[in-house]
Structure 1
Amino acid sequence: MNGTRRADSPGRVVSFGQIIVDLTIRVERVPQPGEDVYGDRAGVAVGAGFNALYAVRRMGVDAVYAGALGTGPWADRIRAALEREGIAHGGVTDREDDNGLCIALTDADAERTFVSVRGAETRLGPHGFDNVAVGAGDVAIFSGYTLIHRSAEALLAFMRRTAGHDFPAVFDTSPVIGQITDAQLDELVSYRPIWTCNEREGGILAERLGLGRTAPQTDNGGLCAALCEALRAPVVLRAGSGGAWVGSEDGTVEPVPGFPVTAVDTNGAGDCHTGVICAELCRGADLVRAVRLANAAAAIAVTRHGPATCPTRGEAEALIARADEGRR
């Protein structure tokens, strides 16, 4: 699988995503227009791109945030969280705007609904990542969210500067993959990152690539194979408690089993999964092995409230060991 490197000393995971503050509210159900409902749990937490970097640190790998930090109360909260977790800031500082925020509603089925406000993290121009370097031992994380704001100019400039890159890049499609332009999608395909998405996002991506919507609920393997062939790159297709499918450039697909749990909050689970994959690639793991640990970490994460709930590497490995013992 593409993305494997020698197990020398681990490098860093460098995120080109966006960090904002989450205002989280637990509700029985999302209100209809004009309706008034009450939540039974509320909190303020640093989220979005922070969740994946938090997972990287929980796996014991160095992490760098390459995006913008603004000036104001939300940015101050983000800076404190980065410092607390030992995540370096390698990006620019915006002296005029604060970072954005997201109101995240989690209902009784653990499903999430978001309302977001843009901030400094979205306003990078074409030179926004000029001072960011990614070495051969590092792993880069790209996010679909970076491509739907002005920050797309910065990410595309970085990709052009690092064409023919000698480091693994992981592109987390996010739910906004249907909103990026055809030209941006073409540049991503040419860059040949490892693509990671959930079933819904995979279906949207398949439509963007002219593949139609392969029934994702019943044929994840077929969807993953079709995406790999069209993208000419590895694909990780997440299937919740069903685990994930990992495909290589030649269309060979391998299922990686999940760990069924009772979810209480799925906010940040995909970010946790992506962060663990990137950390393990830094350690020299192949993609299938990285995804197995990511499946275990995400399974534990959804049993905890909050957006950044990735367990430690030891906790994830212990879950795998218990599952393996149960199969004997």
Structure 2
Amino acid sequence: MAGNPRVIHTAQALVDEVVEIAGLPRRGQNAMARSYTRYAGGAVNILLAAARSGAECLHAGAHGTGPNGDLVRKVLLAEGIRLSSPIVPDADTGICFVMIEPSAERTFVTTMGAERRITVESLQTCAPAPGDLVCVSGYSLLDPTRKPLQQWLDTVPEGVVVVLDPGVAFADLPEDVRVRALGQTTVWTSNAEEAEALTGVADFRESAVAVADHLPDGATVIVRDGPKGCVVSEGGQSTYVEGFPQIPLDTNGAGDTHTGVLCACRAAGGAWIEAARRANAAGAIKVTRRGPATAPAAREIDAFLASE
């Protein structure tokens, strides 16, 4: 294929409605928000992070008609990211309501809208080629997106790299769904809690190896633990990649930033360990910024690493 492999995302592009609160209210009670902001989020976060690190990016998920879908398209197109699937004509994109506490911890409530209206045919509009990195979210393995996604993944050409970001949803899926998804996975990238939920291994340095036991031969595993960094497991070898602790302002989208930069560096031909180092740096920069889609550009990552 001409040029570098692409980063293609199949999952839900949503609109994040974000409020900052002093703390979560008790059940039945109220909390007053100090701020309210509306962002394009979900898969958008990963695609923006990858595009800002130089990758050619494409969104293959569904997007709706209305103000939410308009915002998603505006943000993606402004960063040079194409959308391959047609607009869903009679539904708008859903929202994720995000509550952020002073600790930078965040809590979510998500609706389902046009972004859940995918088909095998709509996904195939991205036409993946060998070498492309196709990102899959564990949230897409919920109904009603599960069946078309897994049917489509069975058809992708050999050599397409399927990157699974399991999310917290993965652990609660039926066992047969999890086993099938893991069998379709080339790269697993998750936080420590998600890896522990699959393996029962709490230490993220050890859980990466345990995750690999659930994947096809030759698969790569990246398990991150925020400021502690991440572990890359490939070819039976496990490598710890140091993190860059920061005083966090907003952790919403930090994991997405890590995944996007990781994929972009790999698409450019970088080794997984170097990609992980840059992804750790990108996540460290992102947590010092408000908003989910505030991933740094490649030059900012370069400057950050040069200063360490």
Shorter-chain TM-score range: over 0.9
Instruction: Establish whether residue 222 from structure 1 lines up as the match of residue 206 from structure 2.
Output: yes
Deviates further, 233-242 or 221-230? 221-230
Q: Can you list the C-alpha shifts for 1:135-187, whole angstroms capped at 9, x where unaligned?
A: 12421111111111311122112111126x21222111111111323222222
Q: Any runs of at least 4 consecutive aligned residues in structure 1 with deviations exceeding 3 A, and if so which?
A: 125-128
Instruction: Indicate which of 60, 83, 87 corresponds to 2:77.
Output: 83
SS of equivalent to 1:169: strand
User: Aligned residue for 1:3?
Assistant: none
| Alignment correspondent of 2:243 | 258
Q: Choose between structure 1 and 2 for higher RCO, CA contacts under 8 A separated by at least 6 residues.
A: 1
Superposed, 1:235-314 pairs within 5 Å as 235-250=221-236, 252-314=237-299
State whether structure 2 residue 9 is matched by structure 1 residue 24.
Answer: no
**CA offset digits 1:215-263 (Å, max 9, x no partner):** x2xx22221111112324211101100000111242x211000001000
Quick check: 1:228–1:249 contact (8 Å CA) kept in 2? no
Q: Is the 8 A contact 1:121 1:151 kept in 2?
A: no
How many aligned residue pairs are there?
306
Q: Would you say 1:199 and 2:185 are equivalent positions?
A: no
- Identify the residue that residue 136 of structure 1 maps to in structure 2: 130
Q: Does the CA contact (< 8 Å) of 1:124 and 1:153 recur in 2?
A: no
Which letter does structure 1 place at the counterpart of 2:150? L
* Distance in 2, Cα, partners of 1:157 & 1:247: 28
> Secondary structure at 2:213's aligned position in 1?
helix
Q: Which residue of 1 aligns with 2:300?
A: 315
Check the 8 A contact 2:6/2:133 in 1, yes or no: yes
CA–CA separation in structure 1 for the residues paired with 2:234 and 2:76:
34
Pairs within 5 Å for 1:109-148 = 109-148=103-142
Q: Any idea what SS the aligned residue of 2:244 has?
A: coil
Q: CA RMSD in A?
A: 1.6
Gaps of 5+ in 2: none
Checking the alignment, whether the CA contact within 8 Å between 1:9 and 1:283 is kept in structure 2 is: no
Identical columns (%):
33
What SS class does the counterpart of residue 124 from structure 2 fall into? coil
The aligned residue for residue 209 of structure 1 is none
Does the CA contact (< 8 Å) of 2:93 and 2:113 recur in 1? yes
CA distance in 2, matches of 1:68, 1:57: 19
Confirm or deny: 8 A CA contact 2:227 2:243 kept in the other structure: yes
Return the alpha-carbon distance in structure 2 between the equivalents of residues 47 and 130 of structure 1: 23
Shift of 1:123: 2.4
Tell whether the 8 Å contact from 1:268 to 1:307 is kept in structure 2 after alignment.
yes
AA matched with 2:172: Q
SS of the aligned residue for 1:175 comes to: coil
Secondary structure of 1:275 counterpart: helix
Q: Could you say if the C-alpha distance between residues 92 and 182 of structure 1 is closer, same or farther in structure 2, counting changes exceeding 3 Å?
A: farther
Distance across 1 between alignment mates of 2:73 and 2:140:
20
TM-score of the aligned structures, taking structure 2 as reference length? 0.95
CA contact (8 A) 2:12 2:61 kept: yes
Give the C-alpha shift of residue 126 in structure 1. Answer: 4.3
Whether contact under 8 Å (2:261, 2:275) holds in the other structure is yes
Give 1:160's aligned residue: 154
Alpha-carbon offset, residue 61 of structure 1: 1.4
The separation in 1 between residues aligned to 2:95 and 2:35, in whole angstroms, is: 18
Tell me the TM-score normalised to structure 1 length. Answer: 0.89
Taking the aligned partners of 1:253 and 1:247, their CA distance within structure 2 comes to 4
